[in-house]
Chains A and B, each alone.
Chain A
Amino acid sequence: MTATISPDTRAASAAPKPVSRPKVHHERRSARRAGWAMAAPAVLLLLAFLIVPVILGFVLSFTNARLVSPEPTTFTGLDNFVRAFTADPTFLRSLVNTVCFAAVVVPVQAGFGLLLAILVNRKIRGAVAFRVIFFIPVVTSIVVVSILWKFMYQPDGLINSFIDSITFGAWQGTAWLNDPSTALTAIIVLSVWQAVGFHMLIWLSGLQTIPQELYEAARIDGAGTWQQFRHVTWPCLRPTRVFVLITITIAALGLFVQIDVMTQGGPVDATSTLVYHAVRMGYHQQQIGYGSALSLVFFVLVLIVALVQRFLTRDKD
């Protein structure tokens, strides 16, 4: 994640001028002031509109607050959390589903995105057109996408017709969204479909920072396509790789809209996710205290996963 200093700039900073102490002090103070001043608007806004509501939410998670109620709100301590882990099978199932979803989507979407980026990076005519086409699903609202795919997943819908013709009638497909064993897979397919274009572009900007000379050098050394990838492309993509993985992971763990539009957590909780369950309990069932507690569990989970990921990809810098 650090910069690659090119030979030019290294030469420029080779001969530092001697500098007096008050000047250094002034430098540091001016840097500090400028730093705070420039970061201030963003920090204040984030504090006001993200941190404060999150804190409000956290406080609520230790109460029995209701969305709509004349009854007074009381502190209930850890009751909500105990309830989540012991008396709420839907919550545990949501936890499992969320982790499964992320475990599949992260490698699939990252890998598929990389493949697309490599394909589109080739010097062929129309690469730009393809790049745009692959990005179009990202541009479409996920609500619209969910509605369209819900149509297509119907037992007599497009997906099954397609499968029927591809396999020459051997398999008619199944009721994708109604079968507990296929529902989550169906959601995975459409989620990857919608989001992979975005990660393709991120990989692409990473790919385009790799200097051509490295490839030529490898080719002169007799490296084939796969070896070029392994020894030139892959190592140079390290910062991009970390970024892509973290963004996909966070987005995957926060899966909500598709579930809300298409399956409402069904069938039999097979597609319920943490965020969806938190919204259903907190908002539809009006138990805002419990819903906030579930959100808190979600934050902690994502934090842990992100930290673990960062740790695993940190070294060798």
Chain B
Amino acid sequence: MTIHKGRIDERVLRRRRRVWTYLVLVGLAVFFLFPLVFMFVSSLKPDGRILSDVGGWRAFLPVGDISFDNYAEVFDRVPVGRFLLNSVLVTVAIVAAGLVVNSMAGFAISRLRWTGRGVVLSVVIATLIVPFETIAVPMVYWVSQLPTLLFQNGQLVYDFGWLDTYQVQIVPFIANGFSVFLFTQYFSSIPTALDEAARIDGAGWFTIYRKIAVPLSGPAFATVAILTFLPAWNQYLWPSMVVQDEKLRPVMVGMQYFFQDNTAWGEVMAYTSMITLPVLVVFLAFQRAFVSSVAASGVKE
């Protein structure tokens, strides 16, 4: 009799806990979403309305003069397609090259014994501290001295200065202390017995990296992919300094097109809504791998 009652109590308790959890989660969801709802709803309103509505509930409601005009005007003012293409190119290049370069370094630091390993790790960690704005100017001086290859009049030519290229937006950001650090952490948690077995079988270290470490590190790759994608996509100070040709500009520099003497707020909202979307899509695609559970015991083949 008592056991039966206990089980009912437990179920009631569990349901109450679930209801509370849901309430809290929904409340938090509202907290996290409301500015973005505001942004999206404002993108449908004319400028004057946005500013007048800003103080009340109407800011969240698509009422009044609703239209997609702002979106149309954005395309008139800014070559959105071109900017999106540039951002995608630059970001994918940074992420892809970064995954390769940083995971190799992480593997080397965590699994191999070589002189200087400790120093390199310390230096990598030290680079985490550096905020980009403080080295932006020295970087510009430096980057404008670097040699590059050019096709000119049908032949390869050496030129100086990386300004106004794709590579200036990509190469400085491929190696990333944070990513190396994450990979180092993750690889350390993979048992070394597999390496030893493979070495005994005569495998080279690169093969071990490729065939053993990498396939087991799905979550780490997904994590680093997202973490490098975000800052790469949101870059704006650097491209506005070093990219002069409009054909090469990324999406965030386009944001500044709207801040003239009269800021076109509606278009700003429309534009930011448009550029946030691809990032969301990427995140949705990767997030499952990002938080997938790692087999905690044993190792899967």
Nearest residue (CB) in A for B191 is: A9
A197 touches B (CB below 8 Å):
yes
Task: Return 9 A-B CB contacts under 8 Å, by A number.
Answer: A46-B175, A116-B28, A124-B21, A132-B287, A136-B280, A137-B36, A144-B39, A193-B32, A279-B133
A135 touches B287 (CB 8 A): yes
Interface set, chain A 1-48, CB cutoff 8 A to B: 1-9, 12-13, 17, 27-28, 30-39, 41-46, 48
B272 touches A144 (CB 8 A): yes
Nearest residue (CB) in A for B235 is: A141
A137 touches B114 (CB 8 A): no
Q: Which residue, B25, B123, B200, has most C-beta atoms of chain A within 10 A?
A: B25
Q: Which A residues are in CB contact (< 8 Å) with B272? A: 140-141, 144
SS of A interface (majority): helix
A148 touches B127 (CB 8 A): no
A158 to B114, CA, bound (A): 58
B133 touches A275 (CB 8 A): yes
B291 touches A9 (CB 8 A): no
A154 to B279, CA, bound (A): 29
A44 to B171, CA, bound (A): 11
A176 touches B (CB below 8 Å):
no
Q: Which B residues are in CB contact (< 8 Å) with A160? A: 55
B188 touches A2 (CB 8 A): yes
A130 touches B117 (CB 8 A): no
A138 touches B35 (CB 8 A): no
Nearest residue (CB) in A for B60 is: A158
B206 touches A34 (CB 8 A): yes
Q: Which B residues are in CB contact (< 8 Å) with A53? A: 135, 138-139, 142
B236 touches A143 (CB 8 A): yes
Q: A143-B236, A147-B268 are in contact. Are A275 and B134 (CB under 8 A)?
A: yes
A108 to B171, CA, bound (A): 36
B33's partner among A124, A133, A138, A210 (CB-CB below 8 A) is A133
Q: Which residue, A33, A37, A138, A151, has most C-beta atoms of chain B within 10 A?
A: A151
SS of B interface (majority): helix
A74 touches B (CB below 8 Å):
no
Q: Which residue, B24, B115, B255, B297, has most C-beta atoms of chain A within 10 A?
A: B297
B90 touches A (CB below 8 Å):
no
Binary contact readout B93-131 vs A (1 if CB under 8 angstroms, 0 otherwise): 000000001101101110011111100100111111111
Binary contact readout A99-114 vs B (1 if CB under 8 angstroms, 0 otherwise): 0000000000000000
Q: Which residue, A46, A145, A299, has most C-beta atoms of chain B within 10 A?
A: A46
B59 touches A (CB below 8 Å):
yes
A39 touches B108 (CB 8 A): yes
Binary contact readout A264-287 vs B (1 if CB under 8 angstroms, 0 otherwise): 000000000001001100110000
**Distance from A109 Cβ to chain B, minimum over Cβ atoms (Å):** 14
A250 to B178, CA, bound (A): 11
A38's partner among B185, B189, B205 (CB-CB below 8 A) is B205
B151 touches A (CB below 8 Å):
no
User: Interface size for chain A: under 10, 10 to 19, 20 to 34, or 35 or more residues?
Assistant: 35 or more
Q: A32-B115, A124-B21, A157-B55 are in contact. Are A250 and B105 (CB under 8 A)?
A: no
A275 to B113, CA, bound (A): 38
A13's partner among B18, B124, B196, B223 (CB-CB below 8 A) is B196
Q: Which A residues are in CB contact (< 8 Å) with B284? A: 132
Q: Which A residues are in CB contact (< 8 Å) with B298? A: 6-9
Q: Which A residues are in CB contact (< 8 Å) with B219? A: 205
A250 touches B129 (CB 8 A): yes
Q: Which A residues are in CB contact (< 8 Å) with B141? A: 56
B38 touches A (CB below 8 Å):
yes
A180 touches B (CB below 8 Å):
no
A275 touches B293 (CB 8 A): no
A217 touches B (CB below 8 Å):
no
A46 touches B123 (CB 8 A): yes
B209 touches A (CB below 8 Å):
yes
A239 to B294, CA, bound (A): 15
Q: Which B residues are in CB contact (< 8 Å) with A6? A: 191, 296-299
B294's partner among A143, A209, A292 (CB-CB below 8 A) is A209
Q: Which A residues are in CB contact (< 8 Å) with B124? A: 42, 46
A151 touches B204 (CB 8 A): no
A38 touches B206 (CB 8 A): yes
B247 touches A (CB below 8 Å):
no
B193 touches A9 (CB 8 A): yes
A205's partner among B54, B120, B206, B291 (CB-CB below 8 A) is B291
Q: Which residue, A34, A35, A39, A197, has most C-beta atoms of chain B within 10 A?
A: A39
